[in-house]
Structure 1
Amino acid sequence: MGSGQVTDWQGKNVTVAGLGVSGIPAAKVLHGLGAKITVVNDGDDARARAQAAELEALGITVRLGDGATLPEGTELIVTAPGWKPDKPLFAAAHEAGVPVWGDVELAWRLRGPDAAPWLAVTGTNGKTTTVQMLASILKAAGLRTAAVGNIGVSLLDAVLGEEQYDVLAVELSSYQLHWAPSLRAHSAAVLNLAPDHLDWHGSMEAYAADKGRIYEGNRVACVYNVADKATEDLVREADVEEGCRAVGFTLGTPAPSQLGVVEGVLVDRAFVENRQKNAQELAEVSDVNPPAPHNIANALAAAALARAYGVPPQAVRDGLRAFTPDAHRIAHVADVDGVAYIDDSKATNTHAAEASLAAYESIVWIAGGLAKGAVFEELVTKAAKRLRGAVLMGADRGLIREALARHAPEVPVVDLDRTDTGAMLAAVQEARRLAQPGDTVLLAPACASMDMFANYNQRGDLFAEAVRELGAGA
């Protein structure tokens, strides 16, 4: 990083909002560059005090329990992505003409002159899987890369660390994009758009607009989902570099400028000579793990971004073969008495649950948790004919119960009114009672987990533990 950039920060008054996973590294990095840092945090619990002590030892000012007031003399705010745009701190900043950056914006601005280009991915669901597939494909092409952003290596580490990268596979949430005004990716994909985090963004339009920022200034390709017109609309609205192309992905036969599937083969009609007539085979559907429809879509999106970067077809196939999916993402736990038990605890919203439910024929569905403003009518309507039964748990289970009563009244429902640690075992036992040989018991909660569990990982782990207990007693 050039010395010119370091002096830019010397003595600059920066307020860091939030002590979370992005706030602490941001405070340390900017302090190291000579900025005067004040960290503000809403919470004032034991954990926050321990974190504050660590930062204060470095000479950083921390204000706990007061995230609303703008510190005197602030020239820039760097915010944790989760802080809502309507917080008083940001209203005060706006009034004072103080810019607000997120962690992604900060990383983008701190990149050196020869920084690796970013291939960026957003969408309501499938981001993590697609970015990991993309990194696997780029590695198979012999490129130095990492999966960064919302996952894996922190963006600040990737940008400022010792490791030299050729290209980065970057997962970006709508929150991060909201606070990243100057980000300009080499190429980017919006995988899908469904109502999510509306409590944060305020409206579907605002949510879509934040997702669409990922296309701003793209150089080579804006990758969109042919089956989801909203993603194509965002490409049309984006202000891109001259010569940047719209590239679609589809589970059907691809038109020119698209990637798609023909007779069990992933094919490219976008990054080939004479795309009116030619198609390039990339991989077999069976090279995708697992080969569920939504995951094939993820693979096509990853392939499109890799091809936009100039990766050869062979590397797409090798990268997809080398990829192994994350835990709690449609993970097969066990078969007990002819019933398959599947952990998709990562299905934390209706869109993810819909994709999961569509992958099985006859399902006992374990669902519920924190709805985050979601509605379940459409999800239940689509899944109704596949449901053998449902077991509901968590704070907002009543919303799902009502949707089932309206749209699938013949489906037996068990309503578990308990939030203790044994609730998951009870849910699995109830699901076993409802299931018949050949069925799938599917944990796809369609809700966040924090009402009962530390996170979706713990929820999935407890599900798997309960299933193993069933197996042991079978």
Structure 2
Amino acid sequence: MDIRDLSGARVLVLGAGVSGPGAVRILHALGAEPVVADSRPDAVDLLREALRDGVSCTGISLDRAAELLGGTDAGGVDLVVTSPGWRPNSPLLRAAAEAGLEVWGDVELAWRADAAEMFGPRRTWLAVTGTNGKTTTTSMLEAICGEAGMAVRACGNIGLPVTEVLLAEPRVDVLAAELSSFQLHWAPSCRPDVGVVLNIAEDHLDWHGSMEAYAAAKARVLTGRVAVAGADDEIASRLLAQAPAPTRIGVRLGAPGPGELGVTDGVLTARIGDRDRDDDEVTLLPAVDVRPPGPAGIIDALAAAAVAMSVGARPEHVAAALRGFTVAAHRAELVDTVDGVRYVDDSKATNPHAARTSLLAGGTMVWLAGGLLKGADVDPLVAEVSTVLRGVVLIGRDRGRIAEALSRHAPGVPVVELASGDDVGAAAPDEPQQTMDRAVAEAARMATGGDTVLLAPAAASMDMFTDYGHRGRSFALAVGRVAGR
């Protein structure tokens, strides 16, 4: 369906959550009739409260949506706009496909509207994806572009939906868009001007069905003018080599080759000028000035620099922005030091690949892990980090799978498993905090001076907590109780 034909069209919006209000606003601005379906009785009411004056929508149940998609209603539906979390094999989306309807995500909707210049001249799209590091890289990218004087806004999976940016005042010219694999799956025509794939590791395989499908969704950001990827990551590097973009840039922890960014003698450097010259290396800033410290933070910084420099940022903009950059909460954040034991919140480590970075950051760890593994295999991680573990405390629904991996690869490491009412979906409102309090107390008993008690769950949080931020705040409260506060 052409975006220009939406005036008067009836559009079914599946999901009234984070992406819902923005989708409704932009559909309303395009003259369409948005009809919102959600399983939660109060969800549409909450969405209406979030809309601006003069913007309205019709709310219906999922059963009613099924009737519309089934063709039993004379009104029908012209287009479906789905929340990114809805799986392609969900009954309503299968019904939409059987009815011959197009299904767009909110990113696809925004991309088509912007490409058609429905809200002014087309913006510059800078897309960031990967299994880990997306939010930090996107935030760094926004900071660099802002330092360079661009009218930039971080958006997408990082907070403000992309649809909202198109309607923002004052106008945003550059979108620094963090895009998840779900969002990219539902945005098949999106071709960012510059896109980066940081890394690829097992995650969301329960949603995508296979590693190949997951990687293919991520690779969609590499289809524009410039493609950037982590050269040290096997899969990301392969995706870069296969990318159709005319300009391809690798970022690595070692010295950069022609057309790459990397680290030379402890300094972040770029060789993305004249690729035929050997003396084209440009220095950016010392690696010790990058926050968060360590390999993951350096790769994120290099990736953000590569993307920003591809649209006109200069080395001095990169250096100034990264020196002043502050990492977001729950990303290897030191909460407190109690009796010589460091308590670190890396609740954002929602998969094994992310947890690995913190577990191998140095020193002996008491690991607090568990949650929803989303189909990921935890055995390789456990085998690699077994020698740094003082002990392990496990919570969450998939804790048994991590315990089994520990019994295979780290049989001498003490392990404590803590059950929760969330295992059966019947937790009391305060039970997640009570479980976290017990977990941190157990970890404190295992730790000795010089150890780190590390919350790096290697799993998603939604079995017990609202999100990873809620889980991190719960950990901080529990640490405060250990400290006697």
Aligned residue in 2 for 1:309: 311
How far apart, in 1, do the equivalents of 2:254 and 2:274 lie?
A: 18
Name 2:162's counterpart in structure 1: 155
2:292 pairs, out of 290, 293, 316, with 290
For residues 238-266 of structure 1, the C-alpha deviation after alignment (integer angstroms, 9 at most, x for no partner) is: 333xxx21111111111111111112100
Q: Which residue of 1 aligns with 2:424?
A: none
Q: Distance in 2 between matches of 1:97 and 1:191?
A: 35
SS in 1 for 2:300: helix
Please, which of 424, 432, 451 is the counterpart of residue 439 of structure 1?
451
The answer to whether the 8 A contact 2:418-2:439 is kept is yes
Give SS of 1:332's match: strand
Change (3 A) 1:45 1:38: closer
After TM superposition, give the deviation of residue 233 of structure 1 in Å: 2.1
* 1:61 and 2:58 are equivalent in the alignment: yes
Paired AA for residue 243 in structure 2: A
CA drift at 1:154: 2.3
Runs of 5+ unmatched residues, structure 2: 422-430
- Residue 70 of structure 1 deviates from its aligned partner by 4.4
1:230 aligns with 2:226: no
| 2:80 partner SS | strand
Cα contact 2:273–2:280 (8 A) shared by 1? no
User: SS in structure 2 opposite 1:146?
Assistant: strand
CA gap 1:311/1:51 in 2 versus in 1, 3 angstroms: closer
* RMSD across aligned positions (CA): 2.1
User: What letter corresponds to residue 88 of structure 2 in structure 1?
Assistant: P
Contact 1:48/1:64 (<8 A) preserved: no
Shift of 1:283: 0.9
Aligned residue in 2 for 1:39: 36
- Establish whether residue 182 from structure 1 lines up as the match of residue 179 from structure 2: no
Moved more, 60-69 or 9-18: 60-69
2:324 to 316, 322, 325: 322
Q: 1:408 aligns with which of 410, 416, 421?
A: 410
Asked if residue 468 in structure 1 is aligned to residue 480 in structure 2, the reply is yes
CA contact (8 A) 1:272 1:279 kept: no
- Paired residues for 1:8-407 under 5 Å: 8-41=5-38, 43-48=39-44, 51=47, 60-66=57-63, 67-71=65-69, 72=71, 73-111=76-114, 112=117, 113-216=120-223, 218-219=224-225, 221-240=226-245, 244-272=246-274, 274-407=276-409
1:308 Cα deviation after fit: 1.1
Alpha carbons 2:36, 2:44 under 8 Å: kept: no
Change (3 A) 1:469 1:157: same
Structure 1 stretches lacking a partner, 5+ long: none
Deviation sequence 1:314-372 (CA, Å, 0-9, x none): 11111111211111111001111111110001111111111121212210000011121
Opposite residue 354 of structure 2, the aligned amino acid is A
Matched residues, number: 463
Structure-2 separation of matches of 1:404 and 1:273: 48
Does the aligned pair in 1 maintain the 2:17–2:47 contact within 8 Å? no
> Which whole-Å CA distance do the structure 2 matches of 1:37 and 1:401 have between them?
47
**What letter corresponds to residue 104 of structure 1 in structure 2?**
V
Q: Which stretch of the first structure deviates more once superposed, 60-69 or 103-112?
A: 60-69
- The Cα of 1:229 is off from its aligned counterpart by 2.1
Q: Are the counterparts in 1 of residues 21 and 50 from structure 2 also a CA contact under 8 Å?
A: no
> How far apart in 2 are the matches of 1:450 and 1:398?
17
Q: In the aligned structure 2, how far is the partner of 1:302 from the partner of 1:139? A: 12
Identity of aligned residues (%): 50
Name the aligned partner's letter for residue 435 of structure 1. Answer: A
Counterpart-to-counterpart distance in 2, 1:136 and 1:160: 21
Distance verdict in 2 for CA 1:156–1:407, change over 3 Å: same
Q: 1:141 to 1:79 in 2, by over 3 A?
A: same
How far apart are the structure 1 equivalents of 2:441 and 2:16?
Answer: 40
Cα distance in 1, alignment partners of residues 134 and 43 from structure 2: 30
The structural deviation recorded for 1:44 is: 3.7
- Cα distance in 2 for residues equivalent to 1:320 and 1:394: 36
**Residue 459 of structure 1: aligned partner:** 471
Is 2:82–2:104's contact at 8 Å kept on the other side of the alignment?
Answer: yes
Q: What is the Cα deviation at residue 152 of structure 1?
A: 3.2
Residues in 1 aligned to 2:290 and 2:43: alpha-carbon distance in whole angstroms: 42
Contact 1:115 1:159 (8 Å CA) reproduced:
no
CA distance in 2 between partners of 1:47 and 1:130 (Å): 32
CA–CA separation in structure 2 for the residues paired with 1:337 and 1:393: 24
Alignment check: 8 A CA contact 2:396 2:420 kept: yes
Aligned mates of 1:438, 1:54 — CA distance in 2: 48
3-state SS, counterpart of residue 152 of structure 2: coil
Shift of 1:92: 2.6
Equivalent AA in structure 2 for residue 61 of structure 1: T
SS at match of 1:97: coil
Equivalent residues of 2:132, 2:353 under 8 A apart:
yes
Report SS of the residue matched to 2:484.
helix
Q: Take 1:248 and 1:69, find their aligned partners in 2: how far apart are those partners?
A: 49
Does residue 430 of the first structure (1) align with residue 448 of the second (2)?
no
Structure 1 residues 261 and 37 mapped into 2: Cα distance closer, same or farther (>3 Å)?
Answer: same
Q: Secondary structure at the match of 1:409?
A: coil
Say if 1:37 and 1:195 are closer, same or farther in 2 by CA, change over 3 A. Answer: same
Residue type matched to 2:112 in 1? R
CA-to-aligned-CA distance 1:160-219 (integer Å, 9 cap, x gap): 222223322110001111111221111110001011111111111111111111112x11
Distance 1:58 1:392, change over 3 A: same
Tell me what 2:425 maps to: none
Is the contact between residue 293 and residue 359 of structure 1 (CA under 8 Å) also seen in structure 2?
no
